[in-house]
Structure formats: structure tokens, C-alpha cells
Amino acid sequence: MSGQHANASGWYLIQCKPRQDERAEQNLRNQSFNCYRPLRRAQQVKRGRQAEVSESLFPGYLFVRLDRLQDNWYSIRSTRGVARLVTFGNEPAVVPADLINRLHAHEREAPVACQFSCGDAVRITEGPFSELEAIFLRNDGEERAILLLTLLHREQRLKMPLRSIKSAGERSAQANAFAGQSLAGAKYA
């Protein structure tokens, strides 16, 4: 370690073994290391149902706060789930604290990513229209969608939270017909 970094305390990058991010984080925490694994919310199908899950923003990596003078760095290498401490040359890669702060802020503000396209058949999972099929028209902000729902032989536009809809699988005949129409002049509620 060079003299200029001898008293460096800060965030460092850990590379984890494949698909062992959570394991590495837990084992490092068990050794009293301060770890941070940025997460993002995503929609995933589990057992045929749409579920919101948290997954690593940087799969295979996590950050650890270390003090070069006081922490035992050697135990990190033998921690289950950890592949190595990321280095440049022989120096551990220092991650700016500002970057960690921005990742924390982004994690708190990040909405669920929308996975639907105009014309996709969706199933409503919550509320009075639960289990009804509709057609996804477009996003309405970051957390809502505008759907086209057929009720009483009339098409109605409906705003729903993204967390309240899931893919209906194959496109229905109605969705295929709708997708074929030009949306250039359409106005949405």
C-alpha cells in the first residue's frame, strides 16, 4: 500500500462469486463490516403471479466501508460468497462517498420499471376490476398505466397503478386488433 493511501478510510468494491451477492453481503455483515448492495425494484413472474422483487443494481458486486488501519482486510478474501476485492494494480479501488450517497438517493426514489408495450394484454390483479383482462395503452407517470377495458360492450379507459397489473400471457384477439390500429391521432384520458 502506498504512503498516500495508508490512512484511507472509505468505500471499496467487492466482486462476489456468481449469484452469491446476498450470501457475501450477509457473511460480511456477520463479521461486522458495513456493506451496501444497491437494489432496484423489478416485476417478476413467480409461480404464475406477478410479484415485485428487489434485485441487485450491480449483479456480482457490492460495496464495503473499510478503514485501512483498523479493519482486517484478509478475512474478506476468505468470506463465503466473496470472489475478491477489486483492485487497480495492487491498490484496492476506492469508491467516492458521493457516488454511494447518490446510489442511496436513487434507490429511495426509483419506481418500478414498466415492462409493457402499447397493445399488450394485461390482467388486473387488485381492486374492483381484479382478474379482468385489459389492454395496456401507455404509462401515466412513473407508477401508473392507462388501460383499455371493455365493460358493458364499451371500451373504457382506466388508470391503474403498475403494481396492480400483470401480463396476461398471449395477446388476445382484441389486443392484436388494437395493436394493428394507428395510434397517431388517439387522445388518452
* Mean pLDDT of the residues in the chain: 81
What is 121-180's CATH topology? Answer: SH3 type barrels. (2.30.30)
**Span 82-93, pLDDT tens digits:** 999 999 998 898
**Span 53-75, pLDDT tens digits:** 788 889 999 999 998 877 888 89
Residue type, 51: A
Write down the pLDDT at residue 34: 94
At 143, is the secondary structure helix, strand, or coil?
Answer: coil
Q: Which CATH number is associated with domain 3-109?
A: 3.30.70.940
pTM comes to: 0.56
The CATH 3.30.70.940 portion of the chain extends over: 3-109
Ranges of the chain with pLDDT below 50: 1-4, 171-173, 175-176, 179-189
Phi, psi torsion values for 148, nearest 5 degrees: -110, 115
The CATH 2.30.30.30 portion of the chain extends over: 121-180
Q: How far is CA 157 from CA 4, 66, 126, 132, in A?
A: 63, 53, 17, 14
| Separation of alpha carbons 32 and 76, rounded Å | 11
**Which residues on neighbouring strands pair with residue 148, listed in sequence order?**
135, 157
